[in-house]
């Protein structure tokens, strides 16, 4: 059973601050690492899927990196805005499509 | 058009009843899942089907039975509902794992309340 851990559990920042979260996962039997953004009362939406060690992906002000050898991924948000407030989930994927989710990091951005 | 749709969105029922939650995806994906959001807000996988075939069956009570009539549908039937079954259940689908981008697409969730 995979154990995916995210930190911090929650984060409160001011508008304009840059922030980052961590996702750690077992590096054995690894296939892909997913990041999802989950707003209250909505369904999780995919941000990134990364597979290769050293992968870096970017979407607007949000970017992510992946280290499969040591089993961690970082998600960065540059210049946080109130609309970035959400829960950010990471999930580690085994071959065969099983996604195991972390508990998420709750981000609240104050204007 | 909703890519992954679940019905109903809310379900309130009494202990001991049998209920079903339906899920349909119009994305042409081969793989579908059921996740349960537990009391600590974790998303935990329950079942996964690939082309109507069960490939993941986590440790859930056998009162929970998934049914996949075709690869676009994965329904969840729950017998003899218990108070502890109250949770939000999410359906999801994803393309075949051999494709590069295999992010999962989630339904809106079904909030089940057992009273």
Predicted confidence (pLDDT) per residue in B46-56, tens digit? 888 887 778 77
Are the beta carbons of B102 and A97 separated by less than 8 Å?
A: yes
Most confident of A80-94, B58-72, B91-105: A80-94
State percent of chain A over pLDDT 70: 95
Are the beta carbons of A51 and B100 separated by less than 8 Å?
A: yes
Q: Is pLDDT of B99 > 70? A: no
- In this predicted structure, what is the pLDDT of residue A2? 54
| Residue in A with minimal Cα distance to B48 | A98
| Residue in A with minimal Cα distance to B57 | A98
Q: How far is B42 from chain A (nearest CA, A)?
A: 5
Residues 6 or more apart whose CB falls under 8 angstroms from that of A77 comprise A18, A19, A20, A61, A62, A84, A107
Q: How confident is the model at residue A62 (pLDDT cuts 50, 70, 90)?
A: very high
How confident is the model over B71-90, as a mean pLDDT? 95
| Residue in A with minimal Cα distance to B109 | A43
Give the pair of three-digit tokens for residue A29: 């039997």
Nearest to B31 among A43, A44, A97 (CB): A97
Write A14-19 long-range contacts (CB < 8 A, 24+). A14/A80, A14/A109, A14/A110, A15/A80, A15/A81, A15/A82, A15/A109, A15/A110, A15/A111, A16/A79, A16/A80, A17/A79, A17/A80, A17/A109, A18/A76, A18/A77, A18/A78, A18/A79, A18/A80, A19/A76, A19/A77, A19/A80, A19/A107
State percent of chain B over pLDDT 70: 93
- In this predicted structure, what is the pLDDT of residue A1? 45
Chain A contacts to B (CB-CB under 8 A): 31-32, 34, 36, 42-46, 49, 51, 87, 89, 91, 93, 95-101, 103-104
In this structure, the dihedral spanned by the alpha carbons of residues A100, A21, B102 and B10, taken in order and rounded to 10 degrees, is 60
Give the pair of three-digit tokens for residue B101: 């981008």
Q: How far is B106 from chain A (nearest CA, A)?
A: 6
Give the pair of three-digit tokens for residue B36: 């349960």
Beta bridge partners of A14: A110
How confident is the model over A92-106, as a mean pLDDT? 82
Q: What backbone phi and psi angles, to 5 degrees, belong to B42?
A: -70, 145
Are the beta carbons of A46 and B100 separated by less than 8 Å?
A: no
B102 at A interface, C-beta within 8 A? yes
B37 at A interface, C-beta within 8 A? no
Q: How far is B107 from chain A (nearest CA, A)?
A: 6
């Amino acid at each position: 059973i995979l154990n995916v851990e995210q930190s911090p559990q929650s984060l409160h920042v001011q508008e304009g601050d840059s922030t980052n979260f961590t996702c750690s996962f077992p590096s054995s039997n690894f296939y892909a690492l997913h990041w999802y953004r989950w707003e209250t009362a909505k369904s999780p939406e995919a941000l990134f899927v990364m597979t290769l060690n050293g992968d870096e992906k970017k979407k607007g002000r949000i970017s992510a990196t992946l280290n499969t050898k040591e089993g961690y991924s970082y998600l960065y948000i540059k210049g946080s805005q109130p609309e970035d407030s959400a829960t950010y989930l990471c999930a580690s994927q085994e071959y065969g499509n099983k996604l195991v989710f972390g508990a998420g990091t709750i981000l609240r951005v104050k204007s | 058009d909703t890519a992954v749709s679940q019905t109903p969105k809310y379900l309130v029922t009494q202990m001991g009843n049998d209920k079903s939650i339906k899920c349909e995806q119009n994305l042409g994906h081969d793989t579908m899942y059921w996740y349960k959001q537990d009391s600590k807000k974790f998303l935990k996988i329950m079942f996964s089907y690939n082309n109507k075939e069960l490939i993941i069956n986590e440790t859930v009570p056998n009162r929970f039975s998934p049914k996949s009539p075709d690869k676009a549908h994965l329904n969840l039937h729950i017998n003899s509902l218990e108070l502890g079954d109250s949770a939000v259940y999410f359906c999801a689908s994803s393309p075949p794992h051999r494709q590069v981008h295999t992010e999962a697409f989630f339904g809106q969730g079904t909030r089940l309340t057992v009273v």
